[in-house]
């Protein structure tokens, strides 16, 4: 099933990356500027953070493995091993974002 774009817009409008990291238990460092939050990439093994968060574009990009993901895919892959149903439920439970096909 295709996820409506509106859903992703709602995520990036209502949620910040920092909130996601906190709820996922991911350590982040905000030492440079708000535009350069860094985390340890959950998609490959590393000791020095090389995943950068672009707060304006609502994406994060890893310079180590080249992964670029938005919030939904980030949580889906990092927490639920790619299970989209669990990811929808998670966003609903944590942030009260309605699941697109539920009324």
Footprint of Zn ion (CB under 5 A): 41, 43-44, 62, 64-65
Between 45 and 102, whose beta carbon lies closer to Zn ion?
45
For the bound state, the minimum distance from the C-beta of residue 7 to Zn ion, rounded and expressed in Å, comes to 25
For the bound state, the minimum distance from the C-beta of residue 17 to Zn ion, rounded and expressed in Å, comes to 16
Between 66 and 98, whose beta carbon lies closer to Zn ion?
66
Between 64 and 70, whose beta carbon lies closer to Zn ion?
64
For the bound state, the minimum distance from the C-beta of residue 82 to Zn ion, rounded and expressed in Å, comes to 16
Residue 5 CA to residue 19 CA, distance in Å, equals: 21
Q: Are 84 and 66 in contact (CB under 8 A)?
A: no
For the bound state, the minimum distance from the C-beta of residue 63 to Zn ion, rounded and expressed in Å, comes to 8
Residue 77 CA to residue 103 CA, distance in Å, equals: 26
Between 78 and 97, whose beta carbon lies closer to Zn ion?
78
Order of all β-strands in the sheet with 59-62: 28-29, 37-39, 51-54, 59-62, 68-70
CA distances from residue 90 to 25, 34, 81, 95 in whole angstroms, order as listed: 14, 26, 13, 8
């Amino acid at each position: 099933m295709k996820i409506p774009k509106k859903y992703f817009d709602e995520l990036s409008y209502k949620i910040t990356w920092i909130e996601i990291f906190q709820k996922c238990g991911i350590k982040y460092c905000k030492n440079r500027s708000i535009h350069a939050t860094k985390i340890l990439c959950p998609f490959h093994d590393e000791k020095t953070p090389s995943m950068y968060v672009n707060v304006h574009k609502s994406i994060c990009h890893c310079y180590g493995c080249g992964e670029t993901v938005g919030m939904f895919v980030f949580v889906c892959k990092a927490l639920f091993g790619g299970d989209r149903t669990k990811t929808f439920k998670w966003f609903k439970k944590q942030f009260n974002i309605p699941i697109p096909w539920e009324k």
